[in-house]
Structure 1
Amino acid sequence: MTRAVAVVLLVAFVLVVFSLMRRGWRARQGRQGDLPAPATSADLGPVLVGAEGMYVVTTSAGDWLDRVAVHGLGVRTAGTLTVHPGGVLIARRGADDLVIPASDLESVTTTSGMAGKFVERDGLLVLTWQLGPRRVDTGFRVRRAGEQEGLIEALLTLPGVRRREAPGGVPDAEPIPGASTTDDTTDPSRTNPTDPTNGTRGPSA
């Protein structure tokens, strides 16, 4: 096989791979067509605390491999996360800002990885919230590690927001069959039994 033929075959293979990836992304967008666009601006009140870092991804709640592909929520970008009395604002560079109203926020936890982004233990901040008909998880990587706990403390002052433990750092897409939760401090009215991020308001895993 000549070098020219090898190059042509390699280029053809790369094109096929990208075509399949594009098709898969479009199919994912079609499956997520029921998701409304999140708010990009709102009067949330004064800033309680904020931190620079990276917006990592938004996924289906509890399944940190199921990336949300619509409304630019699957695009990783630098940004700033601020906590306000009325909710959370993630100001993103090169993408629309993301507003999470306090009434939609459910819980906060930490983990080491989401959708292909892996860092040290508890290096990602994860917010669970309601977007239209679905519960989703949004991950944010704080640039300065010491600022993450301040964000968590401010988030826990918002009504209804609690801290959860993520078992093993990165949960499976589905819970282990037969597994049960013995923590009686979890609020059953806000808990999804299929969500492996369920836990307590104590220190994160």
Structure 2
Amino acid sequence: MAAEKKSAEVTDWAARIGWLVGLALFVALVYWLMREGWKWRGTLQGDLPELPAVPEDPGPVRLGMSGRYHGSTTAGQWLDRIVAHGLGNRSLAELTLTDAGLAVVRPGANDFFVPASRLRGARLDKGIAGKVLTEGGLLVVTWSHGDRLLDSGFRSDRAAEHGEWVDALNDMTGKTDKTETEGAR
């Protein structure tokens, strides 16, 4: 009979377990640091007042849209995400435009209302912090909150609606020239 060949022990279990524990601790540390950074950004934006609640009867509906809310940023600075009061949380959204303003209903997140007097305009854009689409794929509504101008990004389930929304919002705010509402990037 031929001599039996034995394979050498190639796995050092203690070293392998040590590497896995180290990797898990590193991932946990990175996650914790990201979470703390998010909370710190919210603290820095603590000067923003509470979001206005959606009124019981905002009046007759001019436009309605279902889609996604992609977040809010400082107006003209598409990477400066606003996280205070839940404005940084992406979610499904139902938008309703009335003469009183814009109602944003978000299941699982804070609903808010932008009174018509605070709306500053709307435009089609390709991105907002954390989301980049094709040119014109995002409805960006500019509005004032406290002493800041904010851009909030929405994407309809039917993207063909975006143009109608831009026209309606700009009519409400008195903006007729499209260059007045384009964001600076």
TM-score for the superposition, normalised by structure 2:
0.84
Unaligned runs of 5+ in 2: 1-11
CA distance in 2, matches of 1:151, 1:25: 31
Q: CA deviation at 1:46?
A: 0.9
CA distance in 1, matches of 2:121, 2:58: 18
- Secondary structure of the corresponding residue to residue 139 of structure 1: strand
Q: What residue number does 1:197 align with? A: 183
Contact persistence 2:122–2:166 (CA under 8 A)? yes
Q: What residue number does 2:20 align with? A: 7
Q: Where in structure 1 do 4 or more consecutive aligned residues deviate above 6 Å? A: none
TM-score for the superposition, normalised by structure 1:
0.77
Aligned match for 1:35, one of 48, 57, 73: 48
Q: Please list, as runs of the form range in 1=range in 2, the aligned pairs for 1:80-159 lying within 5 A after superposition.
A: 80-159=94-173
Aligned match for 2:33, one of 5, 10, 20: 20
Q: Hey, which of these two has a bigger chunk of helix by percent? A: 2
Q: Report the AA paired with residue 98 of structure 2.
A: H
CA distance in 1, matches of 2:117, 2:152: 16
- Secondary structure of the corresponding residue to residue 64 of structure 1: coil
Give CA deviations for 1:95-136 in whole Å, capped at 9, x if unaligned. 121211110011111111111111111111001111011111
Q: Report the AA paired with residue 24 of structure 1.
A: G
Q: Does 1:50 align with 2:64?
A: yes
- Answer with 37-46 or 103-112: which moved more: 37-46
Give CA deviations for 1:59-113 in whole Å, capped at 9, x if unaligned. 1111111111111111000011121111111111111212111100111111111
- Secondary structure of the corresponding residue to residue 158 of structure 1: helix
- Secondary structure of the corresponding residue to residue 146 of structure 1: helix
- Secondary structure of the corresponding residue to residue 86 of structure 2: coil
